[in-house]
Amino acid sequence: MADGTVEVVHSSTVDGITTLTLDSPKSRNALSASLVERLLDGLVSAADDPEVRAVVLTHSGNTFCAGADLSEALARGASVEEASAAGTEAMLGLIRAILESPKPVIARIDGHVRAGGLGLIGACDMVFAGPACTFALTEARLGLAPSVISVVLLPKMSARSSGRYYLTGETFDADTAERVGLVTQSCGSAADLEGCLASALTGIRKASPQGLAASKALTTTAVLAAFETYGRRRAEESAALFGSEEAREGMTAFLSKRRPSWDLT
Q: Which domains does the chain have, with CATH numbers?
A: 1-189+208-265 (3.90.226.10)
Instruction: Give me the pLDDT at residue 86, please.
Output: 80
Instruction: Give me the pLDDT at residue 1, please.
Output: 44
pLDDT digits (tens, 9 = 90+) for 175-198: 999 999 999 999 999 999 999 999
Q: What percent of the chain has pLDDT over 70?
A: 94
Return all residues near 175 (Cβ < 8 A) that are at least 6 apart. Answer: 186
Instruction: Give me the pLDDT at residue 83, please.
Output: 72
Q: CA 49, CA 18: separation in Å to the nearest integer?
A: 10
Residue 57 clears pLDDT 70, i.e. is over it: yes
Give the chain as a 3 state SS string: CCCCCCCCEEEEEECCEEEEEECCHHHCCCECHHHHHHHHHHHHHHHHCCCCCEEEEEECCCEEECCECCHHHHHCCCCHHHHHHHHHHHHHHHHHHHHHCCCCEEEEECCEEECHHHHHHHHCCEEEECCCCEEECCHHHHCCCCCCCHHHHCCCCCHHHHHHHHHHCCCEEHHHHHHCCCCCEECCCHHHHHHHHHHHHHHHHHCCHHHHHHHHHHHHHHHHHHHHHHHHHHHHHHHHHHCCHHHHHHHHHHHHCCCCCCCCC
Instruction: Give me the pLDDT at residue 2, please.
Output: 45
pLDDT digits (tens, 9 = 90+) for 96-129: 999 999 999 999 999 999 999 999 999 999 999 9
Q: CA 70, CA 172: separation in Å to the nearest integer?
A: 25
Q: Between 250 and 79, name the one with better pLDDT.
A: 250
Rg (CA), the chain: 18
- Contact (Cβ atoms closer than 8 angstroms) between residue 128 and residue 44: no
Residue 75 clears pLDDT 90, i.e. is over it: no
Among 99, 112, 87, 122, CA closest to 43:
99
Residue 254 clears pLDDT 70, i.e. is over it: yes
Instruction: Give me the pLDDT at residue 55, please.
Output: 98
Among 82, 71, 3, CA closest to 35:
71
- Provide the mean pLDDT of the chain: 93
Instruction: Give me the pLDDT at residue 84, please.
Output: 76
- Averaged pLDDT, 50-73: 90
Reported as a pLDDT band with limits 50, 70 and 90, residue 6 is confident
Instruction: Give me the pLDDT at residue 82, please.
Output: 73
